[in-house]
Amino acid sequence: MMTATSAAGWRRYFGWNTDHKVIGVQYIVTSFVFFLLGGALAMVVRTELAAPGADVLDGATYNQTMTNHGTLMIFLWILPVVAGFGNYLIPLMIGARDMAFPRLNALSYWLIPPAGLLMLSSFFAGGAEAGWTAYVPLSIGGPPGQTLWALSVLLLGFSSILGAINFLTTVITMRAPGMSFWRLPLFVWGMLATAILSLTATPVLTAGLILVALDRMVGTHFFTVSSGGDPILWQNLFWFYSHPAVYIMILPAMGIVSEIFPVFARKPIFGYRMIAMSSMAIAVLGMTVWAHHMFTSGMDPRLRIPFMVSSMVIAVPTGIKIFSWLATTWYGKIRLTTPMLFALGFISMFLIGGLTGIFLATIPVDLHVHDTYFVVGHLHFVLFGGSVSAVYAGLYYWFPKITGRQYDERIGRAHFAINFIGTNLAYLPMFLAGLLGMPRRVADYDPSFTSLNLWATIGGFLLGISVLPFLYNALLSWARGPKAEANPWSSLTLEWQTSSPPPPQNFAVIPTVTHHPYAYGDTPGAEAVAAPATAGAGGSR
Amino acid sequence: MSPHAMPHAEDFRAGQALGVDHRKLGMWLFIASEVMFFGGLIAAYLHYKYSLGFPEIELLNVVQVGVNTLILLSSSLTVVSALAALQAGRPGRMALFLVLTIVLGVAFLSGQAYEFASLYREGVTLTSGVFGSSFFTLTGFHGLHVAIGVVWAIVVLLGGLRGAYTAERSMGVEIFGLYWHFVDIVWIMLFTLIYLIP
Amino acid sequence: MSETVSHPARRQPRYGVIFLVLAALTAIEIAVGGSRLDRRLLVLALLALAFAKAGLVAAYYMHLRGDHRLYTAVFVLPALLLLVFALLSIAI
């Protein structure tokens, strides 16, 4: 029998394969490689910023480094890795044998390695220096690498859009009998909301990038200021996508957290429908807030207040989710496994990130802290403390399912501890630095910010180190870890009702769903910890 | 190693129960993304039209392009007639309507080429200024979509001649039709926004 | 997979009639566009005509009318979003 670890099995991952489980792993592993590259760039950034003065890199090289750090992390790590989770899990969770369009699915993945290579090659073509936001007119001039940057992001956009078409069609048309929308796992709801955003917002960035590419390659005048080109137009097109992009990065993460909490608190998720509807609300609202990135751009001032209001309103569905997760743990029988630790860490760190987001949404505050380290602190708490924590939680939670092996729990907990300390140490000082006036995207800074930066650098290096126990654990366990059962966590969602790893056709027999997937601890007269579910249903009673 | 199988009809039970075909839904979702893509280009055009003003609009020939618009509209008629013919069990008639569609599509593209050439003669080019860049990019991408449609029409025609489609197996033609009509709708909007609205 | 059976005899003339309406609306558009109406009224009239044409193609040629309303939602909601974005892009 071919397993993911057998000698011939691993070869599947290097070629064209239409099995969503293979594609999911391809996405996850490829994006993790870019995570490591982006992280290496972060180590360079923090080395430079450990002391004032452009002592390690010159200004231009620093700009390329921070541009590619952000670009790799956003476009080649978080966005594809959540697509990878979606790819692997959605068909299993809804009781389907694959995605609706398996060949399109493979194409979506195979756009990523060439796009990644294009992105990396930009370093050797003079580099892209304009930040991941590529504001014009800076990105219109500058070295040739910027064109490669734009083309790379274009390719990744196509991948996203095709993936979104697949996710939406699959969930709507391929659910197993009995799997109504209100019985969908919350991770699937999160991916539904995410796919809606990917589908509608990404094409606007595509349009904007084409305009930039045309200006650079052909000499059009979209953004040449002397011809009348308007930098605000680029910002408008860019942020119309890039704000929803952050929700694309967080909604699947929240979905992962929603899966993990009920399992490791051994209680039904609190407020299932509220969480599902909040995901959709965040998606819809998320398309109405983008200009809060432009408060200082010179945009029409009368338009700023509606964006401030919508940006604050989005805190409501977000808060509903946080309270629901906390309520799930209330009187729960909590197991502090590695996935649960990362999920708990997500709550605390995303909370900090989210609350500071409300500060930034407030125009008067934003006018002072825009483009300072306050923003850098905010974004890293939501993206690293938030999304990356949840991704780690998911990687540990579904590790046995995907690889058929169990990881080492103690090393996992050690990873969590170093990661948690490192994250807080790296990013908390940034809020202070920003409030005190340190601008972002600088290689050199006023000496008064030195100690804050030094702490951040130490935290950053801790984060760099923290990857090592994870890699050691993941690689060794995948190769030689103890074999995992079908359902080591005693979970009720469908992916756990088949073998670890699942057979190529996912289920021997497509299950008929009769229950909600979160009926933990509900057995009348039984103990709080539910017995492992028997095969064939989204609930065994 | 058991080969990984493509999905079968019964895998789409949930869609069938809803009355939603997965291929049709996939095409509509793609169309939604194209709406937003053209939206980005249209937003750029309108942004500059109302901030800078486009004096070059004087040079546009509304009547000629109006005729071209009618050509594209009639191609939508021929496309939907092709599908209707197929569903009535008349594949020969479908082929005829597809040929007409291709002819009309090529005629539209020729009309566009003619218009582009006359603008170029007046000095309005892709790189001559903000208007030229916006106008040619927006109409150019639309033309590109028509061209892709023409190639797709040829593929569908060849498939039809080979007997690939029947009254019960018409989804391939229907999906092509959806794409073609969408491209027509984009032109309906562009004609108004570029040529008619002051 | 079975698909709905159509009634071609009734449909063909309908498509033809729709085309004539589209052609007529186009002619009206060109006339209105060249007229000296007050500018705001002109813009509204032209937009209304364009949406009417687009709506006819979508409803009848793309068969949105009579199909599952999910397809209509998938088309109309992004179109509305685009409308908002385009208007905002003019103002911003």
| Contact between C8 and B196 using a beta-carbon 8 Å cutoff | no
In whole angstroms, give the CA distance from residue A532 to residue A492. 8
Nearest CB among B1, B2, B22 relative to A169 is that of: B22
Q: Is B198 on the interface with C (CB under 8 A)?
A: yes
Q: Is the same domain home to C14 and C41?
A: yes
Cβ contacts of B1 on chain A, cutoff 8 Å: 2, 8, 504
In whole angstroms, give the CA distance from residue B173 to residue B159. 10
Cβ contacts of A204 on chain C, cutoff 8 Å: 85
Residue of C nearest to B58 (CA): C34
Q: Assess whether pLDDT exceeds 50 at residue A354.
A: yes
Instruction: Specify whether the backbone of B179 is left (phi greater than 0), alpha (psi in -120 to 50) or beta.
Output: alpha
Q: Is the same domain home to C57 and C72?
A: no
Q: Assess whether pLDDT exceeds 90 at residue A2.
A: no
CA distance B93 to chain C (A): 12
CA distance C21 to chain B (A): 11
What's the mean pLDDT in B181-195?
Answer: 98
CA distance C73 to chain A (A): 12
Q: Is the same domain home to C87 and C45?
A: no
Q: Other C-beta atoms within 10 Å of B178: how many?
A: 24
- Provide the chain B residues 33-62 that lie in CB contact (below 8 A) with chain C: 33, 35-36, 38-39, 42-44, 46-47, 49-50, 62
What's the pLDDT band for A541 if we cut at 50, 70, 90? very low
| Contact between A236 and C70 using a beta-carbon 8 Å cutoff | no
Q: How do residues A371-401 score in pLDDT, each as one tens digit? A: 999 999 999 999 999 999 999 999 999 999 9
What's the mean pLDDT in A503-507?
Answer: 94
Q: Assess whether pLDDT exceeds 60 at residue C2.
A: no
Encoded tokens for A538? 């989204």
- Write the CA distances from B107 to A56, B67, B72, B101, C57, integer angstroms: 62, 11, 9, 10, 20
What is the predicted pLDDT for the residue at A41? Answer: 97
Instruction: Please say whether the beta carbons of C7 and B27 come within 8 A.
Output: no
Instruction: Please say whether the beta carbons of A518 and A183 come within 8 A.
Output: no
Cβ contacts of C91 on chain A, cutoff 8 Å: 300, 303
Q: Is the same domain home to C16 and C45?
A: yes
Look up the pTM and report it.
0.94
Q: Assess whether pLDDT exceeds 50 at residue C1.
A: no
Cβ contacts of A236 on chain B, cutoff 8 Å: 43, 47
- Position of tokens 């060249």? C34
Cβ contacts of B32 on chain A, cutoff 8 Å: 199-200
In whole angstroms, give the CA distance from residue A27 to residue B36. 26
In whole angstroms, give the CA distance from residue B131 to residue B138. 11
- Write the CA distances from B37 to A237, A253, B138, integer angstroms: 11, 27, 10
What's the pLDDT band for A527 if we cut at 50, 70, 90? very low
Q: Which residues of A298-316 are buried (b: 16+ CB within 10 A; e: fewer)?
A: ebeeeebeebbebbeebbe
- Write the CA distances from A498 to A487, A503, A508, A510, A536, integer angstroms: 8, 8, 8, 10, 9
What's the mean pLDDT in A244-270?
Answer: 97
Residue of C nearest to B13 (CA): C1
Q: DSSP 3-state assignment of A398?
A: helix
Instruction: Please say whether the beta carbons of A180 and A95 come within 8 A.
Output: no
| pLDDT: which is higher, C46 or B10 | C46
Compute the count of residue pairs across chains B and C with CB atoms less than 8 Å apart.
Answer: 140
Q: Is the same domain home to C42 and C20?
A: yes
In whole angstroms, give the CA distance from residue B31 to residue B12. 21
Average model confidence (pLDDT) across chain A? 93
In whole angstroms, give the CA distance from residue A29 to residue A23. 10
C14 occurs within a structural domain: yes
Cβ contacts of A240 on chain C, cutoff 8 Å: 85
Nearest CB among B19, B28, B198 relative to C75 is that of: B28
- Write the CA distances from B157 to A92, A407, B150, integer angstroms: 39, 56, 10
| Contact between C91 and A172 using a beta-carbon 8 Å cutoff | no
What is the predicted pLDDT for the residue at C36? Answer: 86
Q: What is the DSSP letter of B59?
A: G
Q: Is A173 on the interface with C (CB under 8 A)?
A: no
CA distance B70 to chain C (A): 6
Q: DSSP 3-state assignment of B30?
A: helix
What is the predicted pLDDT for the residue at B121? Answer: 96
In whole angstroms, give the CA distance from residue B156 to residue B175. 10
Residue of B nearest to A166 (CA): B26
Cβ contacts of A294 on chain C, cutoff 8 Å: 92
Cβ contacts of B35 on chain C, cutoff 8 Å: 75, 78-79, 82
Q: Is the same domain home to C41 and C84?
A: no
Q: How do residues C30-74 score in pLDDT, each as one tens digit? A: 999 988 889 999 999 999 999 999 999 999 999 999 999 999 999
Q: Is the same domain home to C55 and C73?
A: no
What is the predicted pLDDT for the residue at A515? Answer: 85
Nearest alpha-carbon partner for A434 in A365, A382, A383? A365
What's the pLDDT band for A5 if we cut at 50, 70, 90? very low
The most distant pair of C-alpha atoms in chain A lies apart, rounded to whole Å, by 78
Q: Other C-beta atoms within 10 Å of B24: how many?
A: 22
Instruction: Please say whether the beta carbons of A339 and A260 come within 8 A.
Output: yes
Domains and CATH numbers, chain B: 23-51+60-196 (1.20.120.80)
Nearest alpha-carbon partner for A183 in A175, A195, A192? A175
Element (H, E) at A101: none
- Residues belonging to chain C with any Cβ–Cβ distance to chain A shorter than 8 Å: 70, 78, 81, 85, 88-89, 91-92
The dihedrals phi and psi of A55, each to the nearest 5 degrees, come to -90, -25
In whole angstroms, give the CA distance from residue B93 to residue B85. 6
| Contact between A227 and B41 using a beta-carbon 8 Å cutoff | no
Strands, E assignment, B27-112: none
Q: Is A213 on the interface with B (CB under 8 A)?
A: no
Q: Is B67 on the interface with C (CB under 8 A)?
A: no
Q: Assess whether pLDDT exceeds 90 at residue B186.
A: yes
What's the mean pLDDT in B89-97?
Answer: 95
In whole angstroms, give the CA distance from residue A194 to residue A449. 38
In whole angstroms, give the CA distance from residue A233 to residue A135. 10
Q: Assess whether pLDDT exceeds 80 at residue A136.
A: yes
Q: DSSP 3-state assignment of A372?
A: strand
| Residues β-bridged to residue B187 | none
Share of chain A above pLDDT 90, in %: 90
Supply the range of the domain harboring residue C80.
Answer: 68-92
Q: Assess whether pLDDT exceeds 70 at residue A403.
A: yes
What is the predicted pLDDT for the residue at B165? Answer: 96
C3 occurs within a structural domain: no
In whole angstroms, give the CA distance from residue B167 to residue B177. 15
Interface chains of chain B (3 or more CB pairs under 8 Å): A, C
Residue of C nearest to A299 (CA): C92
Q: Is B140 on the interface with A (CB under 8 A)?
A: no
CA distance A165 to chain C (A): 11
Cβ contacts of C74 on chain B, cutoff 8 Å: 25, 28-29, 31-32
What is the predicted pLDDT for the residue at C9? Answer: 54
| Contact between C78 and A236 using a beta-carbon 8 Å cutoff | no
Cβ contacts of C88 on chain A, cutoff 8 Å: 236, 303
In whole angstroms, give the CA distance from residue A65 to residue A128. 9
Number of domains in chain C: 2
Cβ contacts of B28 on chain A, cutoff 8 Å: none
Q: How do residues A191-214 score in pLDDT, each as one tens digit? A: 999 999 999 999 999 999 999 999
Q: Is A287 on the interface with B (CB under 8 A)?
A: no
In whole angstroms, give the CA distance from residue A412 to residue A395. 11
Cβ contacts of A199 on chain C, cutoff 8 Å: 78
What is the predicted pLDDT for the residue at A7? Answer: 43
CA distance C76 to chain A (A): 12
Beta-carbon contacts of residue B120 (< 8 Å; ≥ 6 apart) = none
| Contact between C81 and A200 using a beta-carbon 8 Å cutoff | yes
In whole angstroms, give the CA distance from residue A442 to residue C66. 59
What is the predicted pLDDT for the residue at A521? Answer: 77
CA distance A404 to chain B (A): 17
Q: Is the same domain home to C49 and C77?
A: no
Nearest CB among A8, A19, A207 relative to B41 is that of: A207
Encoded tokens for A74? 């956003």
Nearest CB among A204, A287, A303 relative to C92 is that of: A303
Encoded tokens for A457? 């650098």
In whole angstroms, give the CA distance from residue A167 to residue A398. 19
**For an interface test with B, which of C68, C80, C88 has the most B Cβ atoms less than 10 Å from its Cβ?**
C68
Q: Is the same domain home to C56 and C79?
A: no
Compute the count of residue pairs across chains A and B with CB atoms less than 8 Å apart.
Answer: 156
Domain ranges of chain A: 21-497
What's the mean pLDDT in B33-47?
Answer: 98
C2 occurs within a structural domain: no
| Residues β-bridged to residue C67 | C65
Instruction: Return the ∠ at Cα C87 (arms to A152 and B47), rounded to 5°.
Output: 60
What's the mean pLDDT in A240-257?
Answer: 98
Question: SS3 string of A316-354?
Answer: HHHHHHHHHHHHHHCCCCCCCCHHHHHHHHHHHHHHHHH
Nearest CB among A161, A169, A229 relative to B25 is that of: A169
What's the pLDDT band for B103 if we cut at 50, 70, 90? very high
Q: Assess whether pLDDT exceeds 70 at residue A459.
A: yes
Share of chain B above pLDDT 90, in %: 94
Torsion of CA A235, A241, A246, A247, to 10 degrees: 140
What is the predicted pLDDT for the residue at A1? Answer: 43
Q: Is the same domain home to C36 and C52?
A: yes
- Write the CA distances from B99 to A27, A38, B96, integer angstroms: 43, 53, 5
> What's the CATH number of domain A21-497, 1.20.210.10, 1.10.357.10, 1.10.260.40, 1.10.1240.10?
1.20.210.10
Q: DSSP 3-state assignment of C65?
A: strand
